[in-house]
Chain A
Amino acid sequence: MLREFAMPDVGEGLTEAEVVTWNVAAGDVVTVNQVLCEIETAKAAVELPSPYAGTVGKLLVEPGQVVAVGSPIISIETAEAAAPAVEEDTGAKIGEVGKDGRVANLVGYGARPGAVTRRPRRGTTPPPAPPTPAPVQQSHSAATSRRESGFTAISPGGAGAGAAAGAVPLAKPPVRKLARDLGVDLRSVTPSGPGGVITRDDVQSHVVTPAAPAAVAAVGGVRREPIRGIRKHTAAAMVSSAFTAPHVTEFLAVDVTATMALRDRLRATREYAEVKLTPLAFVAKAVCLAARRTPELNARWDEAAGEIVYFDRMQLGIAAATPRGLIVPNVRDADTLTLRELAAALGELTATARAGRTSPADMAGGTFTITNVGVFGVDTGTPILNPGEAGILAVGAIKPTPWVVDGELAVRTVCQLALSFDHRLVDGEQGSRFLADVGALLTDPGLALTW
């Protein structure tokens, strides 16, 4: 009989997983526990062993596709005879396709994505059908009968629908009840509470002014991608930063010819043979030195405590573009490091980030951030603060530029700096002094001796 294997919850409470590679193809003969594929979840990359012995019928998921836990991913033709059709018991064993075509699955914990529909209560009108096409049917884990408790039923072919359907709207039980009483579909309500939680006011205002969905006329094709993972976190962090800290951005073009010459000289020395000495290391060093003179930039606004927190040490965040998105790992106690140590730390940090091995601890507790947009060839930008930090420095492309030296035009190596700071605790005076200090150090690295 043809059996389907549903994506299991391989962690505790995971809702989705990405199929990375298939180790089998349609037509392959597989044994129990033979590795079928590798999947990646928010927690780990793991291999899935086959629960059945038989012949692979069809791979139901493409590599790279993210599917909801409980969606069938592969069908396997086993040697067993099909279960007798007269079987009355609707409770299919976990992982098997029930007689109604739904695949039973061990219920994990926590909310799952997809449209959750409760089974109707006796004597009540059923709720209107959800607007999403081919919704993933799920029985509510806490509200199932004995026969079905422990099972989540998924409609066949629901993989795509499960991935496309929005997350379960977040709201507290009294608010859910209010919404139900008022006939409001929570999925159509715009949340305003912290963490995207729908509040009582949201529901009430939704009733007063029902949101008219603006028809978006699609020109050509569109591609819709669910917002999740690092993208989601980045968005939340940027929005919270942009709308809490009043940003001011200042710009400075700097002649870094002397610094680049110093870099070339150092690179030739034995001490720097092992490390990759980048311009970023010089900028990082300059930031640490300048922050010593202007401690307001290495500080944070603590709204809850009504205090400004000044940091003794510099935890220098470096914005890094990785295959998985933007992350900001930190160089710990950057102000205590020598230029060589900084260069080594930066090299290690970017290598770790690119390999996707940056731990959450490495990203927490930053106090100032540098974003090196110059690597993309652009001159400058207006960076948005990493939430909680007082300053962020964007470093533009370093390139030959006409420059006035001693009253005459000369070709010099020039770099644009852009500093955004939180105006709640940094005034124009401090911000300007800090930026000018960084610029001065990069123009004449010898100045560092005098500080």
Chain B
Amino acid sequence: MSTPQDWTPPTSAATRPGRDRPGRDHVVAGLKGTDEGGADLVQLLTPEGVRVPDPRFDSYAADVDVEMLKGLYRDLVLVRRFDREGNALQRQGQLGIWVPLLGQEAAQIGAGRAMAPQDMAFPSYREHGVAWTRGVDPTDLLGIFRGTDHGSWDPREKGFHLYTIVIGNQCLNATGYAMGQKFEGKVGGDDAEATMCFFGDGATSQGDVHEGFVWAAVYDAPVVFYCQNNQWAISEPTERQTRVPLYKRAQGYGFPGIRVDGNDVIACLAVTRWALEECRTGNGPVLVEAFTYRMDAHTTSDDPTRYRLADELELWKLKDPIERVRVHLVRSLGVEPEFFDDVQAQADELAARFRQFCVDMPAPAPDRMFSQVYAEGSPAVDAQREEFLAYHASFEGAS
């Protein structure tokens, strides 16, 4: 066991390359709980598109050949494309709100593609990329953002729970689900299952996440806590959430934590495969911190220029998750330009279908809100429905 004397400050001049000693503001705010990624960052594909060896995780990415990487590239481009279309549709008055994932494509595609069909994912509300990998059609995501539906897919069928709006709340559900997997003996065998819980850096400050960590640790629940640290909890930077890098928090709960380059789809895939394997073989839970960046606003209702600097954004543009795969495919694997044109055409086609579906979405009937409160109805709800429908019918011109 370590003692307080053994503890070393998480941030030192050595881990903050190119930065001077902390200024007055830093001292007042406390030392930064995050850094440039740090020496512990797992990275298999550099921002320049160079595949670098990693003795610990190479075996988890051994099957990533040209064809597979082309598939991952297609995932990344298509997801980004419909995400941008969602943003535009909100600006055109077609959606009440949209939650952009721009910049986090690799963190989500890598994690999602590591999952097996029998695994279960519990997303927050930004996991459009994970939804894509679970076979949820992008158009099914539109209802909740247009305010016509709470979710348009079957979570059991897809292995992908409905979006959770309350921050960090899904950690409890995911932990409970994973405990159930363990109680039902679905850990250890050939058909072993695991659960993935997706949340952000801001959620780590929530009680629900803490409780989920505690229960999962105590019950050895097969759950991968997958934290996409996109550096900003709306307008609050990570340094206002934590004094240690987030992945190090796992140690306090008694399970392993690891930080992966969240803009590196191969590393995210490999690390998540490892984490899921740990869980399936009874060594769960695991915390994965995907170190990434939210390139757009928190939601379409937010204006990030009010609280963060443009040069930070410029820095992260150089670490783009898609560009590095593209460069690697072209330079190292000799993929022809036709492939990229084809993917772009597929992306535009998807965006057009996404747009058309959104514009054509019918508004739900007013009695819809009563229809699924109880499986077999209830006298009180039935009475409310009748009253509400009669009220609607009382207007002139009502059909």
The answer to whether A and B assemble together is yes
Q: Does A33 contact B (CB under 8 A)?
A: yes
Contact B366 A12, beta carbon cutoff 8 Å: no
CB-based A-B contact count at 8 angstroms = 99
Contact A146 B366, beta carbon cutoff 8 Å: yes
Chain B interface secondary structure, helix, strand, loop or mixed?
A: loop
Q: Does A51 contact B (CB under 8 A)?
A: yes
Which residues on A sit within 8 Å (CB–CB) of B394? 121-122
Stretch at the interface among A42-50, A79-87, A413-421: A42-50
Contact A94 B359, beta carbon cutoff 8 Å: yes
A121 to B301 CA separation, bound complex (whole angstroms): 36
Q: Does A105 contact B (CB under 8 A)?
A: yes
CB distance from A83 to the nearest CB of B (A): 14
Contact B91 A93, beta carbon cutoff 8 Å: no
Which residues on A sit within 8 Å (CB–CB) of B302? 43-44
Q: Does A5 contact B (CB under 8 A)?
A: yes
Q: Which residues of B contact A (CB under 8 A)?
A: 84-85, 88, 90-97, 146, 148, 297, 300-303, 305-307, 355, 359-360, 363, 365-366, 391-392, 394-399
Given contacts A12-B96, A106-B96, A121-B396, contact A93 B360 (CB under 8 A): yes
Q: Does A329 contact B (CB under 8 A)?
A: no
Chain A interface secondary structure, helix, strand, loop or mixed?
A: loop
CB distance from A85 to the nearest CB of B (A): 20
CB distance from A43 to the nearest CB of B (A): 6
Given contacts A44-B302, A45-B303, A94-B359, contact A121 B395 (CB under 8 A): yes
**16 interchain pairs, CB-CB under 8 A:** A9-B93, A10-B91, A33-B85, A44-B302, A44-B306, A45-B305, A47-B91, A94-B359, A95-B92, A106-B93, A106-B96, A120-B396, A144-B392, A145-B392, A146-B363, A357-B306
Q: In the complex, which of the residues B85, B91, B301, B305 contacts A48, with contact meaning CB atoms closer than 8 Å? A: B91
Q: In the complex, which of the residues A33, A109, A121, A359 contacts B306, with contact meaning CB atoms closer than 8 Å? A: A359
Given contacts A10-B90, A43-B301, contact A143 B359 (CB under 8 A): no
Contact A46 B93, beta carbon cutoff 8 Å: no
Q: Does A8 contact B (CB under 8 A)?
A: yes
> Chain B CB within 10 Å — which of A32, A33, A108 has the most?
A33
Interface residues in A136-151 by Cβ distance below 8 A to B read 143-147, 149-151
Contact A8 B91, beta carbon cutoff 8 Å: yes
Contact B91 A46, beta carbon cutoff 8 Å: yes
Given contacts A122-B395, A145-B392, A149-B363, contact A95 B94 (CB under 8 A): yes
Given contacts A8-B93, A106-B94, contact A143 B88 (CB under 8 A): no
A269 to B96 CA separation, bound complex (whole angstroms): 57
Q: Does A6 contact B (CB under 8 A)?
A: yes
Q: Mark A85-113, 1 if CB is under 8 A from B, else 0.
A: 00000010111000000000110110000
A257 to B204 CA separation, bound complex (whole angstroms): 58
Which residues on A sit within 8 Å (CB–CB) of B307? 359
Which residues on A sit within 8 Å (CB–CB) of B397? 119, 145
Which residues on A sit within 8 Å (CB–CB) of B95? 106
Contact B92 A46, beta carbon cutoff 8 Å: no
CB distance from B92 to the nearest CB of A (A): 4
User: What is the number of residues of chain A that contact chain B, defined by CB distance less than 8 Å?
Assistant: 41
Which residues on A sit within 8 Å (CB–CB) of B399? 145-147
CB distance from A340 to the nearest CB of B (A): 13
Interface residues in A28-84 by Cβ distance below 8 A to B read 32-33, 43-51
A32 to B94 CA separation, bound complex (whole angstroms): 14
Contact B301 A12, beta carbon cutoff 8 Å: yes
Q: Does A210 contact B (CB under 8 A)?
A: no
Q: In the complex, which of the residues A32, A45, A108, A145 contacts B96, with contact meaning CB atoms closer than 8 Å? A: A108
Q: In the complex, which of the residues B97, B301, B359, B398 contacts A145, with contact meaning CB atoms closer than 8 Å? A: B398
Supplied contacts A143-B391, A359-B307, 6 more A-B pairs, CB within 8 Å: A9-B96, A43-B302, A48-B92, A119-B396, A145-B398, A146-B365
Which residues on B sit within 8 Å (CB–CB) of A166? none
Which residues on A sit within 8 Å (CB–CB) of B148? 150
A8 to B391 CA separation, bound complex (whole angstroms): 29
Which residues on B sit within 8 Å (CB–CB) of A47? 91
Contact A150 B363, beta carbon cutoff 8 Å: yes
Contact B303 A5, beta carbon cutoff 8 Å: no
A94 to B392 CA separation, bound complex (whole angstroms): 21
A7 to B93 CA separation, bound complex (whole angstroms): 8
CB distance from A41 to the nearest CB of B (A): 9
Given contacts A95-B92, A106-B146, A149-B366, contact A143 B300 (CB under 8 A): no
Q: Does A11 contact B (CB under 8 A)?
A: yes
CB distance from A348 to the nearest CB of B (A): 12
> Chain A CB within 10 Å — which of B84, B95, B306 has the most?
B306
> Chain A CB within 10 Å — which of B91, B93, B97, B363 has the most?
B93
A359 to B305 CA separation, bound complex (whole angstroms): 12
Nearest to B146 among chain A residues (CB) is A106
Contact B93 A105, beta carbon cutoff 8 Å: yes
Contact B303 A46, beta carbon cutoff 8 Å: yes
A47 to B93 CA separation, bound complex (whole angstroms): 13
Q: Mark A101-135, 1 if CB is under 8 A from B, else 0.
A: 00001101100000000011110000000000000
Contact A94 B395, beta carbon cutoff 8 Å: no
Which residues on B sit within 8 Å (CB–CB) of A146? 363, 365-366, 392, 399
A11 to B94 CA separation, bound complex (whole angstroms): 12
Which residues on B sit within 8 Å (CB–CB) of A43? 301-303
A348 to B343 CA separation, bound complex (whole angstroms): 49
Contact A122 B94, beta carbon cutoff 8 Å: no
Contact B300 A10, beta carbon cutoff 8 Å: yes
A50 to B355 CA separation, bound complex (whole angstroms): 12
Nearest to A120 among chain B residues (CB) is B396
Which residues on A sit within 8 Å (CB–CB) of B395? 119-122, 143-145
A14 to B305 CA separation, bound complex (whole angstroms): 19
A150 to B302 CA separation, bound complex (whole angstroms): 24
Nearest to A103 among chain B residues (CB) is B93
CB distance from A126 to the nearest CB of B (A): 9
Q: In the complex, which of the residues A109, A122, A357 contacts B396, with contact meaning CB atoms closer than 8 Å? A: A122
CB distance from B364 to the nearest CB of A (A): 8
Q: In the complex, which of the residues A6, A119, A149 contacts B93, with contact meaning CB atoms closer than 8 Å? A: A6
> Chain B CB within 10 Å — which of A9, A45, A47 has the most?
A9
Nearest to B90 among chain A residues (CB) is A10
A121 to B85 CA separation, bound complex (whole angstroms): 40
Which residues on B sit within 8 Å (CB–CB) of A105? 93
Which residues on B sit within 8 Å (CB–CB) of A6? 93
Which residues on A sit within 8 Å (CB–CB) of B359? 93-95
